[in-house]
Amino acid sequence: MKSKKNKIVVFANQKGGVGKSTLCILLADYLAYWKKDVCIIDTDLQQSATLQREQDKQTFGEDEPYSIQSFEVSDPKTMQMLMENAQSQDGFVLFDAPGTIKDDGLAPMFIYADYIICPFEYESKSLSSTRTFIQVVNRLRQLNPQMKAQIFFVPNKVDARMGTREELELWKQTNADFSESGIVTPTVGYRAQMKRVNTYNVPLPLKHAVYESFRFIVKSILR
């Protein structure tokens, strides 16, 4: 049975390298900082969050601010059992999905999700991948009318100093296109420190980078 305080949030996109795992970790850090119940379920093949936590323990110790659990997605039945268990948890349950969502075993993850966070970059391969992701999600909705997940599209690694007039117009049109399938959040700024994210706290430069986007997402979820 779903807990009244339960929020299942899935981080996903078709393309690797858009910052999916990094933003999942940072959102967990952000929520833990604000004393929200949160955990990460790491189903990504690279196990980035799980490996980062093991590394961080050597620096920060065993007093973990939130749990990270690793699961290998194998089939729809196993995934459904995992999602049903996740629904019984209080607070935010963040799923770091694999880099491809075409695996049938992943369908329950999106069907049971309350929210899907889809990071993307304003570059051709990322935008093409994100459009494919939207098509896959829309197909899942058609096949599963009970699917109610709200999608947040997060423009990631944005350098506000960059962008020609034509590029800025393309970004604006991209936001308008994606807004037909979900909500485009404020941008996450590019920071070199993104490569040094940890699972215990949000470094100050990254707080500035993610604050507006995360504040918008969390406020939307909790209202």
pLDDT in tens, 10-21: 999 987 788 999
What whole-number distance in Å separates Cα of residue 198 and Cα of residue 56?
Answer: 7
Give pLDDT, residue 159. 81
Sign of CA dihedral 71, 81, 24, 183: positive
Buried-exposed string 54-69: b where 16+ CB fall within 10 A, e elsewhere: eebeeeeeeeeebebe
Tokens of 180: 């037909």
Q: What are 32-51's pLDDT values in tens digits?
A: 999 999 999 999 989 999 99
In order of 32, 41, 108, 113, 190, the CA distances from 93 in angstroms are 12, 7, 15, 10, 26
Q: What are 154-193's pLDDT values in tens digits?
A: 999 988 766 678 888 888 999 999 999 999 999 998 887 7
Q: What are 101-128's pLDDT values in tens digits?
A: 666 678 899 999 999 999 999 988 999 9
Question: In the chain, what percentage of residues exceed pLDDT 90?
Answer: 71
CATH code for the structural domain at 6-222:
3.40.50.300
Stated as kind and residue range, the H or E segment containing 114 is: none
Strand order in the sheet with 38-42: 67-70, 38-42, 91-96, 6-11, 115-120, 150-155, 183-184
